[in-house]
């Protein structure tokens, strides 16, 4: 998501979020301050805090009142990224060394814990129902992380969607829901924005899965690490016993070797995904969830904040 694609409102909000994150880090006087700064100021789309602020303003709320909550969501997201890098043993994040590699796994774990503590501190300034929704989304995120670890090629599509609803969509849905509550939303406005966040989050994760498989000359990171996503689950479910055995072997080669044979196995799997229309299948799913997210905003009054939320959906469109 590049800046030229953002609306003026979105660029202003993103700049505000970056400024507030910088201020937050500047005033920290802790032993882990360098690590927190490294985690929070290493870039990112800032989608979750952006949705908090847009949802609040979409229903007539005050941006300033929702800002600490928006920061809480960004801190929670960054804490989950630190966990992801530890679990996946990833060496890089956003073009820089992962925090666990730049320091240590223990330091990264403590930094993630510290970020979560600060999310509670920031969110505790709000009403009980908002804090409860926010906390529940982090619980769901942790559950989703575990479900992701349990996924295999034999997993059913239903299990995959249960996983991404928890791991990926939970924070997006809570961001829109809590933002709307801070903005003073009616029951209908709350329901509309909550549904938007959920469906946006699902579409976002599905698109992320596809981007890894369609990244041109780059080798698929997910296949290299043996990660199971919806395209693979669909391919496996559409294959006969002999084809499943071949896919099992190719995925093993892709993850266990680091040479030409590995690259060939990855290319073969991607070729199978294309030939069986597994990629097209997921593209259709993305379109379905984008349309549902779009439709959920239809009852809301038209304003520039609603327009910006709709623009976020357009940024998920494939070129």
| Beta-ladder partners of 97 | 92
Per-residue confidence of the chain (319 residues) as pLDDT tens digits? 444 478 888 999 999 999 999 999 999 999 999 999 999 998 889 999 999 999 999 999 999 999 999 999 999 999 999 999 999 888 888 889 999 999 999 999 999 999 999 999 999 999 999 999 999 999 999 999 999 999 999 999 999 999 999 999 999 999 999 999 999 999 999 999 999 999 999 999 999 989 888 765 567 888 888 889 999 999 999 999 999 999 999 999 988 867 788 888 999 999 999 999 999 999 999 999 999 999 999 999 999 999 999 999 988 765 3
Q: Is the pTM of this model over 0.75?
A: yes
Residue at 125 is within a domain: yes
| The total number of structural domains that make up the chain | 1
Neighbours of 19 (CB within 10 A): 10
Residue at 319 is within a domain: no
Residue at 108 is within a domain: yes
Q: Where are the alpha helices (DSSP H) in the chain?
A: 8-26, 33-40, 47-58, 63-88, 99-102, 105-123, 128-150, 157-167, 169-182, 187-213, 221-224, 230-237, 241-256, 260-275, 278-297, 304-314
161: its two tokens: 């969607």
The Cα 259–Cα 248 span in angstroms is 18
Residue at 95 is within a domain: yes
Say what angle helices 187-213 and 47-58 make with each other, to 10 degrees. Answer: 150
The Cα 115–Cα 221 span in angstroms is 27
Domain containing 143 — which CATH number? 1.10.600.10
Measured in degrees and rounded to the nearest 5, phi and psi for residue 184 equal 85, 35
148: domain range?
A: 3-314
Residue at 275 is within a domain: yes
Cβ distance 104 to 82 under 8 Å?
no
Residues sharing a CB contact under 8 Å with residue 268, sequence separation 6 or more, in sequence order: 250
The Cα 190–Cα 177 span in angstroms is 6
Determine the straight-line distance between the first and last CA of the chain, rounded to whole angstroms: 12
Residue at 8 is within a domain: yes
Measured in degrees and rounded to the nearest 5, phi and psi for residue 245 equal -65, -40
Residue at 116 is within a domain: yes
């Amino acid at each position: 998501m590049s800046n030229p694609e953002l609306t003026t409102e979105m660029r202003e909000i993103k700049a505000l979020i970056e400024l507030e994150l910088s201020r937050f880090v500047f005033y920290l006087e802790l032993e882990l301050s360098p690590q927190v700064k490294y985690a929070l100021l290493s870039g990112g789309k800032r989608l979750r805090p952006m949705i908090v602020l847009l949802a609040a303003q979409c229903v007539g709320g005050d941006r300033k009142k929702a800002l600490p909550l928006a920061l809480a969501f960004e801190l929670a997201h960054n804490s989950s990224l630190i966990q992801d890098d530890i679990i996946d043993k990833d060496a890089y994040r956003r073009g820089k060394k992962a925090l666990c590699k730049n320091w240590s796994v223990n330091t990264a774990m403590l930094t993630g814990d510290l970020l979560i503590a600060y999310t509670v501190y920031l969110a505790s300034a709000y009403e009980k129902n908002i804090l409860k929704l926010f906390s529940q989304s982090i619980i769901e995120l942790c559950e989703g992380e575990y479900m992701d670890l349990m996924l295999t090629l034999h997993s059913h599509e239903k299990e995959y969607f249960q996983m991404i609803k928890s791991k990926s969509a939970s924070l997006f849905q809570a961001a829109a829901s809590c933002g709307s509550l801070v903005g003073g939303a009616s029951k209908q406005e709350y329901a509309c924005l909550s549904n938007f966040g959920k469906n946006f989050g699902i579409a976002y994760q599905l698109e992320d899965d596809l981007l890894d498989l369609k990244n041109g000359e780059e080798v698929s990171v997910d296949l290299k690490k043996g990660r199971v996503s919806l395209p693979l689950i669909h391919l496996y479910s559409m294959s006969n016993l002999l084809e499943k055995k071949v896919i099992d072997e190719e995925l093993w080669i892709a993850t266990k070797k680091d040479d030409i044979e590995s690259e060939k196995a990855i290319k073969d799997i991607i070729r199978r995904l294309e030939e069986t229309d597994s990629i097209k299948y997921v593209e259709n799913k993305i379109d379905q969830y984008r349309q549902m997210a779009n439709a959920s905003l239809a009852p809301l009054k038209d304003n520039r904040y609603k327009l910006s939320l709709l623009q976020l959906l357009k940024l998920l469109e494939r070129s």
